[in-house]
Amino acid sequence: MKKYLIPFACMLLTAGQALAGGLLTNTNHHIAFARMMARGASTEIDAIYTNPAGTAFMAHNGWTLSVNNQSAFQTRNVLATIESPILPGGRYEHKYEGEAVAPIIPSLYAAYKTDRWAASLFFGITGGGGKCTYNHGLPMFDAAVMAGLYSQSAQLLQQYPQMKALISGPITPAQYNLDSYMRGRQFVYGGQLGFAYKFNKHFSGYAGLRLNYFTGNYRGHVNATAKTELATAMMTAASAVGQTNPALSQMLVGMSGENGLAHVALDCDQTGFGVTPILGLDYKVGGLTLAAKYEFKTNLKIENDTKVLEAPAAFEGAIVPYKDGVNTPYDLPSILCLAAGYEFIPGKFRGTVEYHYYGDKWADMADKRQKALTHGTHEYLAGLEWDINKIFTVSAGGQITDYGLSDEFQTQTAFSCDSYSIGFGGAVNLSRAVRLNVGYFWTTYSNYTKKMPADKGGYQGISEMLPGQDVYSRTNKVLGIGVDIKF
């Protein structure tokens, strides 16, 4: 039974971005990213985030604003397989489907440029996993209940042999119903302020800060209720031992009632705050642009505001991390971005290649989970953009992401999958001052299989009696529209 609360530890680690980027970082904010992907050499308004030093080379002197919204539709699924003699038919296989829908993901850009200086502001959702709901819970909840009830009831029968004639044996999953539910929400809101300066016609630099505010909520429950036959047997046993052992009788009556076999519930809000220093460089010569950006690691701790935390008293030690006021590390990793852009036809046709490195192994997570990664995240991007004429522009691009995953890192509520993304779209100059951007991209993920044999603690480390495996899979589709305005 002590294992019931352990799965909730993973609720507080819900990671895996809702958009694009590293394990804890969202990198697509402007629609130009959705339609081209590689924007690290941009000198347009989206450069505030992708190439901040490039804002000093923006063509327009004065104010430029950009308002964007993206809608993301994602699934995060777990195909669980468990094999054990305590299971009906000796095998359990079920696909647990999680849905993450974010119809409104806004971002706002503003820049004021003179001949040499550019001041810029940015606001967007810079991190977090968005929202995800598992309407039928997660397999580790079910497996914990299966193992816990079997073990507890076996001990009870050993302690009170007289009950064996009334309750045939340890409680198995065929004798009760499970009701599980999981929902998580994580957002990191970022507000960025910085300044770029053009030292000469070739070279510029940038320095800025991003203020990050984390907000999250995690809600879930597990209820196990005895089926009629088991409930009747326990009530009969309670009556039989009532005179000789009132405490045992009372416990059996409680177990036969609603939520009596197992009941765990959590409703926890979390908040945190951190600051990210940012430096950037941009070098231009002819049609070539070389750009670099470095975001320092953000030290971030999130604090619990726990409204509901229900579990048996025996779990006191296990629930301490989720009590009201407890802090958990949630650092945002350092990021190095390098890009090279080239105008193949000046003012007409251009392309960019780009590389990102995320220092995930040096960004603290709860229980030092980051140490299980084999390396930090590598991202490779490329994109092309063509101005058909003075009104219409089309673009397309792609991104490959390699996280350095391992079995020890992956959990059911915080799993990632290596992937590639393809994006395309276009822009329309509605006037000299107004541009409309539209973009769409999807991500194709590689399934990740995590094997959990008996000699390694069994399924999710719950019990050697439950060897099994998980297959993690994801889908992601993002559609965006935005407007750039110059004045």
Domains in the chain: ranges and CATH: 2-83+98-141+183-214+270-486 (2.40.160.60)
> Tokens 């076999």 appear where?
261
Q: Which helix (H) or strand (E) holds 250?
A: helix 246-256
| Residue 147 DSSP SS3 | helix
Question: What number of other Cβ atoms are within 10 A of residue 52's Cβ?
Answer: 29
Compute CA distances 385 → 1, 72, 337, whole Å: 58, 23, 20
Q: What pLDDT does 167 receive?
A: 77
Nearest CA-CA partner of 214 in 321, 363, 70, 330: 330
Angle between helices 246-256 and 228-241 (to 10 degrees): 170
Strand partners, 471: 79, 449
User: Mean pLDDT for the chain?
Assistant: 88
* Token couple for 331: 């650092």
Q: Is residue 442 within 8 Å of 477, Cβ to Cβ?
A: yes
Q: What pLDDT does 249 receive?
A: 84
Which of 159 and 474 is assigned the larger pLDDT?
Answer: 474
Helical H segments across 51-190, by residue range:
139-159
- Side-chain-side CA neighbours of 206 within 13 Å: the count stands at 34
d(CA 225, CA 297): 47
Q: Is residue 196 within 8 Å of 204, Cβ to Cβ?
A: yes
Amino acid at 273: F
10 has pLDDT over 70: no
pLDDT tens, residue by residue, 229-249: 888 888 888 888 777 888 888
Nearest CA-CA partner of 177 in 229, 140, 218, 253: 229
Using pLDDT thresholds of 50, 70 and 90, give the confidence band for residue 316. low
pLDDT tens, residue by residue, 30-70: 999 999 999 999 999 999 999 999 999 999 999 999 999 99
3-class SS shares of the chain: helix, strand, coil, % to 5: 20, 50, 25
Phi and psi at 147, nearest 5°, equal -70, -40
d(CA 440, CA 457): 43
Using pLDDT thresholds of 50, 70 and 90, give the confidence band for residue 256. confident
Q: Is residue 68 within 8 Å of 106, Cβ to Cβ?
A: yes
pLDDT tens, residue by residue, 391-442: 999 999 999 999 999 999 988 877 899 999 999 999 999 999 999 999 999 9
d(CA 386, CA 36): 11
Nearest CA-CA partner of 418 in 405, 433, 437, 406: 405
> Tokens 């050697």 appear where?
464
Phi and psi at 274, nearest 5°, equal -155, 165
> Tokens 């009629």 appear where?
228
For the chain, what percent of residues have pLDDT higher than 90? 56
Using pLDDT thresholds of 50, 70 and 90, give the confidence band for residue 17. very low
What would the mean pLDDT of 111-118 be, rounded to a whole number?
Answer: 96
pTM: 0.88
Phi and psi at 458, nearest 5°, equal 75, -165
Question: What number of other Cβ atoms are within 10 A of residue 226's Cβ?
Answer: 22
Which of 185 and 13 is assigned the larger pLDDT?
Answer: 185
